[in-house]
Structure 1
Amino acid sequence: MSLHPRVASVTDRVRQRSAKPRGTYLQHVEASRQRGTARGHVSCTNLAHAFAAAPGADKDALRGPSWPNLAIVSAYNDMLSAHQPFEHFPPLIKDAARKAGAVAQFAGGVPAMCDGVTQGQTGMELSLFSRDVIAMATAVALSHNVFDGALCLGICDKIVPGLLIGALQFGHLPVVFVPGGPMTSGISNAEKAKVRQLHAQGKLGRDALLESEMKSYHGPGTCTFYGTANSNQMLMEVMGLHLPGASFVNPYTPLRDALTRAAATRAAQITTFGDDYTPIADVIDERAIINGIVGLLATGGSTNHTIHLIAIARAAGILIDWSDFDELSAVVPLLARIYPNGGADVNHFHAAGGMGLLIRELLDAGLLHEDVRTIAGPGLRRYTQEPFLDGETDTSPLSWRDAPAASLDDDVLRPHGAPFSADGGLKLLTGNLGRAIIKISAVKPEHRVVEAPAIVFDSQDDMLEAFKRGELRRDFVAVIRYQGPRANGMPELHKLTPALGSLQDDGFHVALVTDGRMSGASGKVPAAIHVTPECLSNGPLARVRSGDVIRLDGEAGTLEAKVEAAEWEQRRPEHPSLDHNGWGLGRELFANARASASGAEQGAISFNTSMGLPIGGETV
């Protein structure tokens, strides 16, 4: 199938736009490749430090030049359900590496905070910037320069983007991403959402809410809704950094362990010591980035990736913006319905045909670049297969077979010729309030256009207090301002969803407009998010006053304050005190990150990269 003209044109535009920074990035990669790793030319003292604690056989192998050394960079901790399984991955990786003629060393850990724990709490204000800390921690782990490849162990929201941004600074190294898989299914997402709304309305107590949540989040693995964590896994697969079909295999299963071992084997094979050298700089190019956007749109993935993909691309010298997402969304059909876009979870999606079927449908529709490099070999068609154990025992060999010829559940996954909708459900909103993103794939058509008076709040807690006082039982647009990267680290505002959802269910026309983020699990209520420029950068959202009529049109792609032009131009932004954002729970340490953060459409990056790309509130 020939490439869809829109995919081709957007890719060409991105390639032209990125020519200079991408060229600089590749020059740096080639210089690093030419220098090689330190094992071959550093002093004996340096080298002895690098493997002083290694087992005898590994030490002997690393003394010579013939075995590659693989770095393990892990986000393990045992509080995050998704990352707890990584505790037992290093021994599997090390054993498989030895059998493949390589050594694997645990190079470093990276922090991994749980947005599920911090959601709606002060700690969420560190979440977005934790991505950049993870990127820097990844760089520290690899900075010893004694590695010939790397395996990155991470799943959740900021962790995978951070690991990838860090790994891309070592573009000459092959890098394999190793997932842990989703937890088994708990109670239905519809039941969970209903209990949350009843609690928000005061009809259920905390004990009943906690019991419901514990039945949903109940074991090791990622949360099973299709939020940012599982969107990460989709991206790593469609961008060629996972082994085919690795994303959604449950943890602590023989197949999961076999895939982990196979990841180590493959990492050894694609170093410069083998015949299939595949550095990450060759995997993540303009085509892979476009493939990631297409995958996100086709599955109704997390809005957080309208920020993270931009930051990832920039780390590889590639410039994308929200117009690219918007143009692709118009031609990429929605092929999956996974909560919050439907009732199913990722286990149901995987059982219906999963990533192999999805990628095949998108390739056959000409919506993905097939001619890419991946860690599994040349071409994305390899990813239309799914893994299985060829036998009945835990030691049975790992094999791959074609994904099902047709979806096993059309309520969850469909072919490109019979999609859930003709577009991808992510849209760019523009108007006199700036540029914003809306995810309409989970919003019913009758709720996609809201025109109502604004009620301005300076925090999500202020809005919830007004809700509890019964002041919001009317049509309105909630404007939650000063929630951008520079103001307070751009927290997710997911805890507003039950309150706004209950008002919508009661027949009121409600919407949210904010320069903050929403969780990847949100979507029922129309929300214009990531409004850029943010309020602290004198963005126009700071001019809105309570009572102004706001029109959010998710169909036409507009976001406007219906205020006379002359009055609008005369208004000046309101600047409430933000002193309370600077202290408590470690926020003091992130003052520089807030001060230097770029806008959401530039990836909300708090550091510069080696390509000399500007940071700050500029537009691409």
Structure 2
Amino acid sequence: MHAVVDRVTRRIIDRSRLSRQNYLARMTELKSRSPHRNVLSCGNLAHGFAACHQDDKDTLKLMSKANVAIVSAYNDMLSAHQPYATFPDIIREAAHGMGSVAQFAGGTPAMCDGVTQGQPGMELSLFSRDTIAMSTAVALSHNMFDATLLLGICDKIVPGLLIGALSFGYLPGILVPAGPMPSGLPNKEKQRIRQLYAEGKLGKEELLEAESKSYHSPGTCTFYGTANSNQLLVEVMGLHLPGAAFVNPGTPLRDQLTRAATEQVIRLSRPQGGELGLGDMIDEKSIVNALVALLVTGGSTNHTLHWVAIARAAGIVIDWNDYAELSSVVPSMTRIYPNGEEDVNAFHDAGGTPFLIRELLDAGYLHNDVETVVGHGLERYTRTPAMDGDRLVWQPAPLKSLHPDVLSTASEPFAPDGGLKVLDGNLGRGVIKVSAVAREHHKIEARAVVFNDQNELKAAFDAGDLNKDCIVIVRFQGPKSNGMPELHKLTPYLGVLQDRGFRVGLVTDGRMSGASGKVPAAIHVYPEALEGGPLARVRDGDLISLDADRGTLSVVVDEAEFAEREPARPDLSAYHQDYGRELFGWMRRSVGTAEEGACVFWNHEA
């Protein structure tokens, strides 16, 4: 193992020792009582299989047969989740072929940040993760099940499914992806048209046409944002079948992978002699593997929140220093939009996750000695699925990248580090992703232009007030303020300013996620402004220093004067009412900080 990866892993193990032991002890006790269906009363059990076919009822009376819970984020409005409509029938058929049963245990919400971006619904987005976790727990609460298949793919959905399923971590579980849509309009062309629209050089009709050519069919969006980062990280943790992440929906291979996942989770169940649950497979080493995978691919900054929360659900405590230390040594091995020109389909065609895993294992950046859903050892994930006639087979990943400008080797990476930095200073603590930011923009010092509402920026842009070197402060966007929305509607305007030759940056207590691009953006800054964080005392014209290379974020103002300033206190009530936002007030009040995972379950726990 690489010395730094080993050191970070040992530190996490030491830090998590008590909480991890407590979690595993709870799961051991729960597992000792399974199958829980055995302790249901006759009335309980009759309710549990009342709607089943008689054959399934007869099977479920036998404790030696497995019942698989299907927990799905299906809906037919969102392209990434629409393919899941057909999965339950495939799963039930495969379970019957194994002499077992599969029941649709419950559905979870699935919202799309692409639809809600810049809209009031975006303020529910982060909290939908914890809502999904609770929905998953409700689905599994009937104690009818011996194994779980988790059907979800996008931003908050996979983390929510994992957090919820880890409460039932004595049960084995496999995540079942649906795959990305085929490639559409090139991402760089989409970005160009968005910037032309922001400048008023194109109309809405042309913009909609371009967007419709980008997002055009069932499947996940093809850029490397949070959704596709989810899939890669989950596969590197050994929670998918090998090579399953980026197979397109509606193909024979995709359906065969779903059947195979069903058969495999049944083999892992206690009625089939299995001993390991999801909580055994998600351990400190697999979490570190996920962080390494995030960093070498320039994945979504949202996972500086989500993987903290997932780890905590398994009794594991990680922090941003772990990310930063790993990022300083792991190589950057992919160029996937927004960190490059091509999309995840090109990455998959180049050799994809199996090639990446083999390279990282050989170079000592990933732990091989982990449990996966297909057995011990991550080397099992260096294989690629394929169809041999009507039969599913796995073959070794290609020896060389088939698209070397998209996927590199560990020995000849695109950059020597992972491009994620932690920033500290008198403005608070945050993160910045620089994998898509040109080196000359890693450090910027400019005067502040302060907004308390992201919608104010467009008006300032249109008025020409931002045609200068500046660092835009967009505050009161943290989880306690308004649910910590992503602020991507700002990106085209800031990109235009940078293209005009101005030195610009962004500092916010909100989010930018996997689509963070070429403008330096210090995000997730806390203490957030609503809690009296330093951002609340910044004024227009203050000199701001953002240095990604040194990891600093500061306001260059006399310390005593800055401390004496009265913090801004805007009226945020308009962001707490209507569009369902009033229902999430308790979450805003109880949520933890960004570095704690912005979670309502374990904030402020060590």
> Which TM-score tier does this pair reach, normalised by the shorter chain?
over 0.9
Paired residues of 1:448 and 1:553 also in contact (CA < 8 A): yes
Residue 424 in structure 1 maps to residue 422 in structure 2: no
Paired residues of 2:65 and 2:272 also in contact (CA < 8 A): no
Residue pairs, 1:314-353, within 5 angstroms: 314-353=312-351
Unaligned runs of 5+ in 2: none
246, 256, 265: which one aligns with 1:267: 265
In structure 2, C-alpha distance between the alignment counterparts of 1:607 and 1:19, rounded to whole Å: 20
Q: Structure 1: which amino acid aligns with 2:50?
A: A
TM-score, scaled to structure 2: 0.99
Number of the residue aligned with 1:611: none
In structure 2, C-alpha distance between the alignment counterparts of 1:552 and 1:102, rounded to whole Å: 58
Number of the residue aligned with 2:498: 504
Number of the residue aligned with 1:44: 42
Moved more, 56-65 or 471-480: 56-65
Residue pairs, 1:96-245, within 5 angstroms: 96-245=94-243
C-alpha displacement at 1:278, in angstroms?
Answer: 2.5
In structure 2, C-alpha distance between the alignment counterparts of 1:591 and 1:42, rounded to whole Å: 37
Residue 357 in structure 1 maps to residue 355 in structure 2: yes
Paired residues of 2:385 and 2:393 also in contact (CA < 8 A): yes
Residue 457 in structure 1 maps to residue 451 in structure 2: yes
Moved more, 573-582 or 319-328: 573-582
SS where residue 69 of structure 2 aligns? strand
Aligned length: 606
Number of the residue aligned with 1:612: none
In structure 2, C-alpha distance between the alignment counterparts of 1:334 and 1:301, rounded to whole Å: 10
TM-score, scaled to structure 1: 0.97
In structure 1, C-alpha distance between the alignment counterparts of 2:557 and 2:320, rounded to whole Å: 26
SS where residue 520 of structure 1 aligns? helix
What RMSD, in angstroms, separates the aligned Cα atoms of the two structures? 0.9
Q: Structure 2: which amino acid aligns with 1:470?
A: G
Number of the residue aligned with 2:374: 376
Q: Structure 2: which amino acid aligns with 1:339?
A: Y
Residue pairs, 1:592-611, within 5 angstroms: 592-608=586-602
C-alpha displacement at 1:542, in angstroms?
Answer: 1.2
Paired residues of 2:505 and 2:520 also in contact (CA < 8 A): yes
In structure 2, C-alpha distance between the alignment counterparts of 1:39 and 1:281, rounded to whole Å: 20
563, 568, 571: which one aligns with 1:569: 563
C-alpha displacement at 1:533, in angstroms?
Answer: 1.2
C-alpha displacement at 1:448, in angstroms?
Answer: 1.3
C-alpha displacement at 1:376, in angstroms?
Answer: 1.0
Moved more, 105-114 or 58-67: 58-67
In structure 2, C-alpha distance between the alignment counterparts of 1:40 and 1:189, rounded to whole Å: 53
Q: Structure 2: which amino acid aligns with 1:532?
A: Y
In structure 2, C-alpha distance between the alignment counterparts of 1:41 and 1:465, rounded to whole Å: 63
C-alpha displacement at 1:402, in angstroms?
Answer: 0.5
Residue pairs, 1:2-81, within 5 angstroms: 3-81=1-79
In structure 2, C-alpha distance between the alignment counterparts of 1:162 and 1:79, rounded to whole Å: 20
Q: Residues 121-146 of structure 1: CA distance to partner in whole angstroms, max 9, x if unpaired?
A: 11000000000000000000000011
SS where residue 173 of structure 1 aligns? coil
Number of the residue aligned with 2:481: 487
SS where residue 516 of structure 1 aligns? coil
Paired residues of 2:35 and 2:63 also in contact (CA < 8 A): no
Residue pairs, 1:76-87, within 5 angstroms: 76-87=74-85
In structure 2, C-alpha distance between the alignment counterparts of 1:67 and 1:148, rounded to whole Å: 9
Q: Structure 1: which amino acid aligns with 2:5?
A: V
Paired residues of 2:87 and 2:258 also in contact (CA < 8 A): yes
SS where residue 273 of structure 1 aligns? helix
Residue 476 in structure 1 maps to residue 474 in structure 2: no
Q: Residues 89-144 of structure 1: CA distance to partner in whole angstroms, max 9, x if unpaired?
A: 00000100111121100000000011100001110000000000000000000000
C-alpha displacement at 1:570, in angstroms?
Answer: 2.0
Q: Structure 2: which amino acid aligns with 1:435?
A: R
Q: Structure 2: which amino acid aligns with 1:56?
A: Q
Unaligned runs of 5+ in 1: 609-614
Paired residues of 2:98 and 2:263 also in contact (CA < 8 A): yes
527, 545, 550: which one aligns with 1:556: 550
In structure 2, C-alpha distance between the alignment counterparts of 1:528 and 1:243, rounded to whole Å: 36
SS where residue 124 of structure 2 aligns? helix
C-alpha displacement at 1:434, in angstroms?
Answer: 1.0
SS where residue 485 of structure 2 aligns? coil
C-alpha displacement at 1:422, in angstroms?
Answer: 0.2
C-alpha displacement at 1:277, in angstroms?
Answer: 3.0
> Percent same amino acid among aligned pairs?
61
Residue 403 in structure 1 maps to residue 401 in structure 2: no
Runs of 4+ in structure 1 off by over 6 angstroms are none
CA spacing shift, 1:275–1:64, aligned 2, 3 Å: closer
Moved more, 63-72 or 159-168: 63-72
Q: Structure 2: which amino acid aligns with 1:100?
A: M
Residue 434 in structure 1 maps to residue 428 in structure 2: yes
Q: Residues 257-298 of structure 1: CA distance to partner in whole angstroms, max 9, x if unpaired?
A: 000000000010001122443200111000011000000001
